[in-house]
Chain A
């Protein structure tokens, strides 16, 4: 018997990090089994994003700016959002499949394993095309003028906080399945809103609706605060972004655990995928 009492928080965190790393390695090995498919999806997604860069180049060559956003501002958004989105889906590829997994009764597999259900569930898959998003984000930031080691480090840090917020937001939307039964329309709508509002200049939207970007649809913390911080090389922005990402993650985790109490196990035999 041990001495009893709660496990120190840092041990739990370390254990989670080790688990994340192991899941990541296994997922990468699995994805690389189909190497051609992997490369096609990665470069195809990067090309997909590049089409929008072409659109903005054409538009801004005619207009100069949109709501005060010039080409480099728009491209920064098109770097940080794909990088954060890519990282979120590369590490936690199941975040937008939670609803489907719960509905099919496939959650049982994760309940039986000696790991945190939420962490185990979301990290048990990688989305290959997300690697293309991640790669594209870093490619764009490398091509933007004014990149310095400090700015690059800040970009990396804000990619991490952005990815954490996206994981939390997508997971929370998917966790509605526990309360609504079929929540695919609601979570699909949320995804559309979050991505659409994150990838276009904040200033094109009315002031009256911008509070949404810092609450329910956290585009502000993923795209707009990072843009301002990057331009001013303002490290203090992390004092806002880190607590925000922790708060969103904690809220999302709590929602999942609350929903999990309502889960009724089926009799399906399955394997962890």
Chain B
């Protein structure tokens, strides 16, 4: 087996172990599914009321608005809660055990958290597709290429979510009470492209939004789902790839700076 394959295998095993742990408590998934379902139901009613006898708003008709919300919320529910357990690991000292092991700290956490999150997001997506078919009509996927770009975009969005939340969690190296940072991140992410499409924002806010990672988190996959063109899908996936790289570099930098502040006491 080549060295690269060995490395990959190590992280795949970490992801698989995490998935098995998650699968051992299927009841925990119910809470997430139920919250997502209620949210989708409420917003499908809101959009249904808004668009009753109304022309499209900012280029979105009622069906597009509901489908946009369903896909955008998959990234919020499926990949939006890494911070809590990561920050807990930092604060509890668990981090000290992980540092001494023979794997890359960031990559291990990525494999561990995404191993459990990807299947959960897939279940949420399946639920969303069935609810969308009920409330908004046929699933808006017209080609294999669109489905491919949607899945790729969701995966990139989840990875960016993980890396940014991990960077925020590692601020615990400096300030113990760092939850407020996450709240700000989470709410910005909700307002900028999750609850409503970016096109609904005032012009100046839209322009500013493109300088942030938030359009890559929810807007990109949701836009690919409801208004797919190959050109735009490529542009959005490219933007997400760039933010993935930037987030990975940020995460590595925060870890490098933070680990020098770690003090391990006792065993």
Residues of A within 8 A of B (CB): 36-37, 40-41, 43-45, 47-48, 50-51, 54-55, 58-59, 61-63, 66-67, 185, 188-189, 192-193, 196-197, 200-201, 203-205
Contact = CB atoms under 8 A, between A and B. Distances in A.
Contacts of B186: 48
Closest 7 CB pairs of A and B: A51-B187, A44-B180, A204-B45, A204-B49, A67-B49, A44-B183, A55-B195
Interface stretch (B28-36, B101-109, B130-138): B28-36
Given A43-B180, A62-B58, A196-B42, A204 B34 contact: no
A43 B186 CA distance: 15
A147 B37 CA distance: 37
Give chain A's interface secondary structure class.
Answer: helix
A45 B187 CA distance: 11
Given A188-B34, A192-B38, A196-B42, A44 B179 contact: yes
B201 A205 contact: no
Interface size class of B (residues with CB under 8 A): 20 to 34
Majority secondary structure, B binding face: helix
B46 interface: yes
B190 interface: yes
B267 interface: no
A189 B31 CA distance: 7
Interface of B: 27, 30-31, 34-35, 38-39, 42, 45-46, 48-50, 54, 57-58, 177, 179-180, 183-184, 186-188, 190-191, 195-196, 200-202
A164 B136 CA distance: 38
B240 to A, nearest CB: 23
A204 B34 CA distance: 20
B200 A58 contact: yes
Given A48-B186, A201-B46, 5 more contacts: A40-B180, A47-B184, A59-B200, A196-B42, A205-B45
A43 B179 CA distance: 11
Given A47-B187, A51-B187, A192 B34 contact: yes
Contacts of A44: 179-180, 183-184
B191 A51 contact: yes
Contacts of B30: 185
22 contacts: A36-B177, A40-B179, A44-B179, A48-B186, A51-B188, A51-B190, A51-B191, A55-B190, A58-B196, A61-B202, A62-B58, A63-B50, A63-B57, A67-B49, A185-B30, A192-B34, A196-B38, A196-B42, A201-B46, A201-B49, A203-B49, A204-B49
Given A48-B183, A185-B31, A196-B42, A54 B49 contact: no
Contacts of B50: 59, 63, 66
Contacts of A40: 177, 179-180
A63 B47 CA distance: 11
Contacts of A196: 38-39, 42
